[in-house]
Structure 1
Amino acid sequence: MDRRNLREFEAAARERLDPAHYDYFAGGAGDEVTVRANEAAFGRLGLVPRVLRGTGKLQTDLTLLESRAAAPVLVAPTAFHRLADPEGERATARAAAATETIMIVSMAATVAIEDVAAAAPGAELWFQLYVQPDLAFTERLVRRAEAAGCRALVVTVDSPVLGRRERDLRNGFHDLPDHLCCENLRDGARGDRVRPIVMWPELSWEHLGALRRMTGLPIVLKGITHPADARLALDHGTSAIMVSNHGGRQLDGVAATIDLLPDIVAEVGGAVPVLLDGGVRRGTDVLKALALGAAAVAVGRPVVWGLAADGERGVAAVLELLRAEVEHALTLCGCASIHDLEPDMVRRPC
């Protein structure tokens, strides 16, 4: 079926997924105010195109932390891809490689990072990490990511406890089916026992320093929403910042990420790239984020919808559709390059 927008991929995915699994991917914390706000906030922003600028050939590619991408759209880390398709993260990685897209592989993937890398030689992979209280285990995870060829660590910092997701509570969805597990949590030092992910309220900037001493990989902090934390991230040697409210899955009521972006961009002052996730559903959303200072955006749920709708081909179709929409919107905004976008090309509500 020819799907013309990401909403149609979501509709197809909802038809094919177990209802509890659809709710796991689609749902958020509490009343899901933040889930809705992430998308709605883009709709309140208006583009202000330029004209008569003879754009010609478009340039959408970029390099982030020495990883090249054909467009300013990354695959955000999302868990449990094998709930959407038997090939799971292997299929997602192959689609990402085919479309020249950076994929951030979740620590809670249902395919081990080594197998994800083997399935898609040449893919640009980053690894998402929850720092664990057992720092020796954390270091073993880091070493596996390094050995698999990951080019950066994306450290999620907004999860001292798990968000209260009422859809999952209502559905009784607590654990993966018996034939699946979080393969990155197999601990070779403990007989390949699968460890739980521990949400750690004591996690602090001090532990980030310990992680920095473990690896030479660039560290991206995912989950920054306050400018003061962006400043602390710079002070602690962070290589990039991802403005994220975890897709509304942690604390309900957090502001939309696109609304938080400008203050964080101003605080960072160009010292490191600022990325954004949350609510991106159109190429025009990508342009708005870039115009307001993001280097790139990441998409999570749309990738899962593509995977559930049509496996590897579905993921590739989602990523290709977003890139085509970015190119189309760039031309209509009078820009030859993603780097031509400026803040005055977005009108914010009064």
Structure 2
Amino acid sequence: MKIMELTELYNQGKKAMLAADYGFFIQGVETGWVLKNNRTVMDSYALRQRAINGPETADTKTTVLEETLLAPVIMSAMTMPIPAMAQNGLFKVSRALKRAGSMMWTGSPMPKELSELVCKGAPHIQSVKCYADREKILRKIEHCREAGVRWVGIEVDTGQGTKVHDRIIASDCRPPSLDFLRKVRDMTPGKLVFKRVLSKEDAALSLEAGADAVMVSNHGAHTIDYLPHPLQVLPEISRVIRGRIPIFVDGGFRRGTDVFKALALGADLVGLGRPVLYGLAADGEEGVFQVINQITLELKRVMVMTGVDCIEKITPDCLLKLGGQ
């Protein structure tokens, strides 16, 4: 069987998605500025090579909130459009992620087969939007508990729903209050991740509300336009968090070098959204596995060439901020 390389997976997967009805999902809100800025910011950092006396290999394994993964790379939260892309698409993604030693994260709509995914597949996180109907949120969290979900993500940034280009995707939402988030914390038995925190103020409130982790994210460019890339706010959020809880990020990460940059600036886990979709569209279950596996191998090579042999040794000093950015 021919193994597709990462560039080929991305090119073929994106082409296949754009040719399908669900291809709109990979576009951005309104002007598309967020997607363009994602790459601009990522490219504004170079790597500090340390080739002499470097390690012969590097260990990418990490443990976050008692979950051990083969690399700090997981699936970003999404359910759409996976069921439309492949028969039993969610199960194919879950099996691929399990094989890669990664984690699955589903969003809206909540999968009907959630309990089976949790039971048979990769470690699983399920997200819940900030619906205007607060009882609906609580019911969905209860459903997560019944399905055996041990990690729940509450989407604190969906107070105005989601939007792709000029099309509103979800509109029955309103911003959460600190008191309500405390209530969510009290009734969530497992780990609770506050998703898509993008400012030091929201990071501080997340700590106050009892979050077990925060996801720093601009929601795949699906909420409002002109949001910063996570790397632009990660340092200030890290100063607020001060290592008390893990920090996850997503938003335009495509290669092992991108993952390395996020880890250097304070992230504990890096989420992949579109890359997982591209892998599925290009080569099914094997494509998803290869996306995670090849990014992990790239990360390992970068670690060796920058003189670090484990994830914990990746620090801001491993990067160079380029001038004029």
Do they superpose with TM above 0.5? yes
Q: CA deviation at 1:77?
A: 0.8
Structure 2 vs 1, CA of residues 73 and 21 (structure 1 numbering), >3 Å: closer, same or farther? farther
Aligned mates of 1:137, 1:245 — CA distance in 2: 24
CA separation in 1, counterparts of 2:149 and 2:68?
Answer: 13
TM-aligned CA deviation for residue 109 of structure 1: 4.7
1:186-211: CA deviation from partner (whole Å, max 9, x where unpaired): xxxxxxxxxxx664224222211111
- Label 1:18 to 1:342 Cα distance change in 2 as closer, same or farther (>3 A): closer
The answer to whether the Cα contact below 8 Å between 1:78 and 1:109 also exists between their aligned partners in 2 is: no
Query: 2:144 is matched with which residue?
Result: 145
Query: C-alpha displacement at 1:168, in angstroms?
Result: 5.3
Tell whether the 8 Å contact from 2:17 to 2:278 is kept in structure 1 after alignment: no
List aligned pairs for 1:35-54, cutoff 5 A: 35-54=35-54
> 2:93 is matched with which residue?
92
Q: Deviations over 1:54-73 (max 9, x none)?
A: 41342111111121211000
Q: Aligned-residue CA RMSD in angstroms?
A: 2.0
* Alignment CA distance shift 1:132-1:333 (3 Å): same
Q: How does 1:190-209 map to 2 (within 5 A)?
A: 199-209=172-182
Q: Are positions 1:237 and 2:210 aligned together?
A: yes
Distance 1:168 1:13 in 2: 23
Percent identity over the alignment is: 28
Paired residues, number: 321
Where in structure 2 are there 5+ consecutive unaligned residues? none
Distance in 2 (alpha carbons) for counterparts of 1:110 and 1:20:
22
**Paired residues for 1:300-315 under 5 Å:** 300-315=273-288
The ranges of structure 1 where at least 4 consecutive aligned residues each deviate by more than 4 angstroms after the TM superposition are: none
Structure 2 partner of 1:31: 31
How big is each residue's C-alpha offset from its partner over 1:18-38, in whole Å with a ceiling of 9 and x where there is no partner?
635453231010111101211
Q: Spell out the pairing of 1:1-350 with structure 2 (5 A cutoff).
A: 1-5=2-6, 7-17=7-17, 19=19, 21-80=21-80, 81-120=82-121, 123-166=122-165, 199-350=172-323
Q: 1:109 & 1:13 partners in 2: Cα distance?
A: 24
Letter in 1 for 2:177: S
Structure 1 Cα separation of the partners of residues 153 and 142 of structure 2: 14
C-alpha distance in 1, partners of 2:111/2:18? 17
With normalisation by structure 2, the TM-score equals 0.92
| Deviation (angstroms), 1:137 | 3.3
Seen in structure 2, the aligned counterparts of structure 1 residues 83 and 10 have a Cα distance that, compared at 3 Å, is: farther
Contact preservation (8 Å) 1:39, 1:281 = no
Following the alignment from structure 1 to structure 2, what is the Cα–Cα distance between the partners of residues 349 and 199? 42
Paired with 2:187 and 2:308, the residues of 1 have a C-alpha distance of 42
Indicate if the aligned counterparts of 2:17 and 2:23 stay in contact, CA closer than 8 A.
no
- Is the 1:76–1:277 Cα contact (8 Å) retained in structure 2? yes
Change (3 A) 1:18 1:33: closer
After superposition, give the CA deviation of every residue in 1:44-98 in whole Å (9 maximum; x if it has no partner): 1111122333413421111111212110001111132112211121111111111
The 10-residue stretch of structure 1 (76-85 or 28-37) with the greater mean CA deviation from structure 2: 76-85
CA distance in 1, matches of 2:73, 2:136: 31
Residues 24 and 168 in structure 1, CA contact (< 8 A), matched pair in contact too: no
Q: Any idea what SS the aligned residue of 2:150 has? A: coil
Equivalent AA in structure 1 for residue 100 of structure 2: T
TM-score for both structures, normalised by structure 1? 0.85
For residue 12 of structure 1, what is the amino acid of its counterpart? Q
Q: Deviations over 1:202-254 (max 9, x none)?
A: 42222111111212212111111111111111111111111101011111111
8 Å contact kept, 2:54–2:306: no
Unaligned runs of 5+ in 1: 175-196
How many Å separate the matches in 2 of 1:87 and 1:131?
Answer: 28
For the 8 Å contact 1:27–1:167, the answer to whether it is kept is no
Given that 1:125 and 1:149 are in contact with CA atoms closer than 8 Å, whether structure 2 keeps it comes out as no
Q: Distance in 1 between matches of 2:86 and 2:3?
A: 20
| Equivalent residues of 2:54, 2:304 under 8 A apart | no
Contact 1:88 1:111 in 2 (8 A): no
8 Å contact from structure 1 (residues 127, 150) kept in 2: yes
